Chain A
Amino acid sequence: MENIEKLKTIATQVRRDIVRMVNLAGSGHPGGSLSSADVLTALYFSVMDQAPERWRRDAEGQDAFILSAGHISPVYYSVLARRGYFPVSELATFRRFGARLQGHPEVKKGLPGVFQASGSLGQGLSVAAGIALGKKLSGDNHKVYCLCGDGESEEGQIWEAGMFAVHHSLGNLIAMTDWNGQQIDGPVASVAGEGDLEAKWKAWGWRVLVADGHDMEVVLKTFAEAKVSDGRPTMILWKTDMGRGISFMAGTHKWHGKVPSADQVAEALAELGETPLGDF
């Protein structure tokens, strides 16, 4: 229980970081960042076998994570900083000229913790599958995690990667979809009607887990289950709300890429409440 409370506190601080980063930068994507905050906090602070001091881009001897939906960089950067990959103060440089915290994650400027650039949607699952296959070939039993968006799953390459991972028996691959039902132009159902993701991934031959992506206890339990491989790749469909945690942002596509004003930031921070971790 203590662990769960700790993770909840971190997730709250991550949400505070997200809102403040996007406001400071004057651009960025708060909606999907907020919907993935609990899952990514759990992943980095409890689930993955990795640590900042032994991070290396080839992921040898450790778990790897690929953020396929690169636009939710605010949550990714906040979690990495809070975990100790780089100074928390660097979050203030998000989207600034010369910063390592580019608008979308990349590796050229050498931000620790990032394995691959992302942002052009639909590609990260292929990269994660490649790393998973590389680990298999090298006899490294570590896992590879990947987070995609549900809107992103309209990209055909996601399904190419889905076929590839099953065909090559990548039981060490744990993919996740942030199933918040929203994308830039509106609800996913109205934009592209991608239908029943659970049935689709099952038909593709994946082991599929569906779980609440905000209840920290459920999140940890689901990850524990996912880690026990049955030889197939695993897809966790996280049922989430875009904008979760901030009432005026929650459950709508309108905050996918919108910047909160100073007043709205104050309102959001008041609702989230302060944490002992402190703002950047």
Chain B
Amino acid sequence: MKKYIDTGKKDTRSGFGAGLLEAGRADERVVALTADLKGSLKMDEFAAEFPERFIQCGIAEANMIGAAAGLAISGKIPFAGSFAEFVTGRVYDQIRQEVAYGKTNVKIASSHAGITLGEDGATHQTMEDIALMRALPGMVVINPCDYNQTKAATIAAAKYDGPVYLRFGRPGVPNFTPADQVFEIGKALVFNEGSDVTIFATGHLVWEALGAAEALEAEGISAEVIDIATIKPLDEEAVIASVSKTGVAVVAEEHNMAGGLGEAISGLLALKCPKPLEFVNGGDQFGESGTPAVLMEAFGLNAAGIVSAVKRALKRK
């Protein structure tokens, strides 16, 4: 199988910060807003280099989304950032009315997604955000897998004209995709070709999926690993092509079942290519305090969890 090298753990939110800075240098219309979480969102360098284009909103997320919409209407390219829960659940109606409905050119920068923000616990964690954003007509939902891909996705989001939900996280995770990649919105990436089973993964679970594929290879099982970096619009062609070939699939994500990538792929395959599916996700639960590693283990969101799901799936083939 294809070898991927972890060049060292890095947090995807820093990939966002680096991408924001580069997008800001390339286009003076790029502005950044936050609700008292400049450091957490890694906006410090952008704010230092472009003080006028950094807009501190204070702890008032609803107004931040409206102000971002106003800035977009006036021709700016705003990235409005906070923790995933506070830029989705807390402001769902603001995003619906001010961003999605009018296809206003706002980028929702969503950090600390999933349970792996860790010790803060379930008030600050979310495994419902993808569901909320997917439900909005026309919203692009991007969930990159590592630092380099998050940086590239941020640059792509700035160039794209329309609402984008860009999801990333707090902990350091393996950085293994090319530093010079160009991110193509809506394109699934085949990271490993295989013939027995497809593993669709998104976010940092893509690395876990590659680990699972390696373990499965040792047992003689050939797993195709596909990075679904753009959850909406889903790369339907790539999903159907792979499952038509392998005949069975697993979907892995740091999100609950309801409304997540698993349901997105299920809905597509039910219509176009019905095959057995198994899921690695948060189920129907809230998170809790703990280190990211402990939580990943507890919720089964890791290579071992994916291997088990693949074995369940293969029995149903």
Contact = CB atoms under 8 A, between A and B. Distances in A.
B55 A129 contact: no
B221 interface: no
Nearest to A107: B102
A115 B73 contact: yes
Most buried by A among B62, B72, B94: B62
Contacts of B53: 137
Contacts, number: 118
Interface in A80-122: 106-108, 115-120, 122
B66 A108 contact: no
B49 to A, nearest CB: 15
Interface residues of B, number: 32
A128 B97 contact: no
A71 to B, nearest CB: 13
Contacts of B93: 120
A161 B52 contact: no
Interface in B57-116: 57-58, 60, 62-76, 78, 93-94, 96-98, 101-104
Given A59-B73, A138-B74, A160-B62, A116 B67 contact: no
A163 B60 CA distance: 9
Main secondary structure of the interface of B (DSSP, over half): helix
Contacts of A156: 62
A127 interface: yes
Nearest to B66: A126
A168 B73 contact: no
A131 B101 CA distance: 17
B101 A123 contact: no
B75 A60 contact: yes
Interface in B138-181: none
Contact of B67 (A57, A115, A122, A164): A164
B226 interface: no
Nearest to B35: A160
A127 B69 contact: yes
B310 interface: no
A54 to B, nearest CB: 16
A157 interface: yes
| A-B complex: 7 closest residue pairs judged by Cβ atoms | A130-B70, A126-B66, A134-B74, A160-B63, A130-B67, A160-B60, A131-B70
Interface of A: 57-60, 64, 66, 106-108, 115-120, 122-135, 137-138, 156-157, 160-161, 163-164, 167-168
15 contacts: A60-B75, A66-B70, A106-B101, A108-B102, A108-B103, A116-B98, A117-B97, A126-B62, A130-B68, A130-B70, A132-B70, A135-B74, A138-B74, A157-B94, A163-B60
